[in-house]
Amino acid sequence: MKTPFSHSRQTLDGGAPFQLVKYVSLSSLMVILVCTFFLSGFISERVKDILYEKSVQYASLVGENLNHQVFFQFTLPTLISDGEIRLSRDSQYERLDKVVRNTIHGFSLERVNIYDTQQVLTYSTEFEKVGTKGNLADVFDRALREESVSILVSEKKSFLGIIKWKGGVRKLKTYFPMWEEKPMSWKRGKILGVFEIIQDITYDYTIIHRFQLIVLLSFLAFVGVVFVTILLFAGRAEKIIAARSNEQRKLEDRLHQAERLAALGEMVAGVSHEIRNPLGIIRSSAELLHKRIENEREKRFTSIIVEEATRLNGIVTEFLDFARPKTIRPVPCHIEDILDRNLQTLEPECIKLGVSVEKDYQSGFYTLEADTDLLYRAFFNLMANALQAMPEGGTLRVKSSLIANAKRPTEMEVRVEDTGVGLPRELLKKIFNPFFTTREKGTGLGLSIVQSIIDSHNGYIEIESTEGKGTVIVIRLPLSQPVRKEEKVTAVQLS
């Protein structure tokens, strides 16, 4: 059957909301990163297109300027002076080279070639290639038809500009028609050849790729920082929720335990009262009969009745003590005084069993508000249980200290340790249940009474045990008790 806390407990224990936050955050950040990847690629491709268009326009501008300068500073003067153009003559070649170099000076060009109409390289800024026949195919024919053709070469294929960034040099070859210019006219004359203008734009592409890499790395760093921040916040939140869930679990367990104890206490109180009256009659009758009988054999039987009735009365008293509500009367006290009082009472039993006692008091002069008689009974039960766990001797350690915590008020901690037989792990959850005991004799109410006393002081008790090594019981108590409603009402009336 599910309790009202079942859903919240599953949610808090599993940390499902924050797990979902981490998964959604990671997915969202990955989507952002992928989108950035494609966006940067798209932008870089667009920038490349713009760069390509600008480079083509740049080459066309250079081509028109070259055609104008070559025609008016070389072609016409050479025809007038020599009657014909023969670039095989050194003087003409040098004159053309000077005109071309002066024209392209200051322009970012790698090489300029001039082909005649037969596709023979008649001039080049690299003299070694002059005289060779080109193999330009369709682009040469289109240039002869007065078209300007640009081709990007030596670039390896890439996907959105982000694969094979280092794909070698990138050159733009522009083929521009070379024509006769007519003075005072915008019309073109006869086509004389083709200009091949080569631009090395590798550096420009490198700048684009570098910018794209910076964008990707920046977004990657941003995504990483955001994700790590989310992980830190989620981890911190999970720890807080786990702590609260653990505290809630303890409170629920204590509530259920209190409910069980209350119901059980009512039943035990009723039964104990019904038993105690006839038991008192049996005991008093046996004592009276014991005094009147003179036969020693018969007296032995009456003494057994008195002894067992006394033992049974002790058990009934323990039942009533368990069922009786623990109303504390807190007064300032030193925890060490209560512990020393217990140890003095149990000193003969420690000597009998060969148990050595080690005390470690570190609470200083601090006091706490507590009912000294109830705490005495609680620690007496704990120490008595520790001695019973060491029938062959051992060590009983009693420690006290102050525990300071930023989230909780300062508390007094008492640890009772023994080197006895210990308890199996599966029994630790049952150890505080009423009537649960690991001994043949006993009611199993000792630790339940201890827990009831500690609860009435707004403290809590924990047990740690290792089978064959011993048991540690830790008790923490607040230094001051909250003001009860009755006390508040009295204080108001007095004022």
Please report the DSSP string for 335-361 in residue order. Answer: HHHHHHHHHHHHHHHHHHHTEEEEEEE
Extract the runs of DSSP E, i.e. beta strands, from 47-139.
111-116, 121-124
In angstroms, rounded to a whole number, what is the distance separating the alpha carbons of residues 357 and 120? 113
C-beta separation of 330 from 370 below 8 A:
yes
pLDDT higher at 409 or 269: 409
The predicted pLDDT at position 495 comes to 44
Output phi, psi for 28, to 5 deg.
Answer: -65, -45
The predicted pLDDT at position 227 comes to 77
Averaged pLDDT, 300-325: 69
- 399, pLDDT greater than 90: yes
Distance from chain centroid for Cα 155: 45
pLDDT per residue over 81-121, tens digit each? 888 888 888 888 888 899 999 988 888 888 899 998 888 89
pLDDT per residue over 363-386, tens digit each? 877 888 888 888 888 898 889 888
Cβ neighbours of residue 226 under 8 Å, at least 6 residues apart?
Answer: 25, 29
Specify the range with the lowest mean pLDDT, choosing from 222-236, 317-331, 344-358: 317-331
- 10, pLDDT greater than 80: no
Would you place residue 79 in the very low, low, confident or very high pLDDT band (cuts 50, 70, 90)? confident
Element (H, E) at 471: strand 470-478
C-beta separation of 119 from 144 below 8 A:
no
- 414, pLDDT greater than 90: yes
Determine what percent of the chain is predicted with pLDDT higher than 90.
10
- 464, pLDDT greater than 70: yes
The predicted pLDDT at position 340 comes to 92
Q: Using alpha carbons, list the distances in angstroms from residue 230 to 21, 36, 223, 237, 317.
A: 8, 20, 10, 10, 59
The predicted pLDDT at position 4 comes to 40
Specify the range with the lowest mean pLDDT, choosing from 2-16, 59-73, 305-319, 443-457: 2-16
pLDDT higher at 69 or 484: 69
Mean pLDDT for the chain overall: 78
The predicted pLDDT at position 494 comes to 43
Averaged pLDDT, 433-442: 60
Written as one string, the DSSP assignment of 418-453 is E-S----GGGTTTTTSTT--SSSSS-S-HHHHHHHH
Specify the range with the lowest mean pLDDT, choosing from 53-57, 277-281, 356-360: 277-281
Q: Which domains does the chain have, with CATH numbers?
A: 11-215 (3.30.450.20), 328-495 (3.30.565.10)
The predicted pLDDT at position 282 comes to 79
The predicted pLDDT at position 5 comes to 37
Task: Give the residue among 180, 175, 172 at the shortest CA–CA distance from 79.
Answer: 180
C-beta separation of 473 from 461 below 8 A:
yes
Q: Report the SS3 class of residue 167.
A: coil
pLDDT per residue over 132-179, tens digit each? 888 888 888 888 888 888 888 865 555 544 444 455 678 889 998 988
Q: Using alpha carbons, list the distances in angstroms from residue 70 to 76, 85, 331, 339, 395.
A: 9, 12, 115, 114, 112
pTM value is 0.44
In angstroms, rounded to a whole number, what is the distance separating the alpha carbons of residues 46 and 202? 16
In angstroms, rounded to a whole number, what is the distance separating the alpha carbons of residues 284 and 306? 8
In angstroms, rounded to a whole number, what is the distance separating the alpha carbons of residues 450 and 376? 10
The predicted pLDDT at position 145 comes to 87
Distance between start and end Cα atoms, the chain: 51
pLDDT higher at 206 or 360: 360
Count the residues in the chain.
Answer: 495
The packing angle between helices 335-353 and 372-388, to 10°, is 30
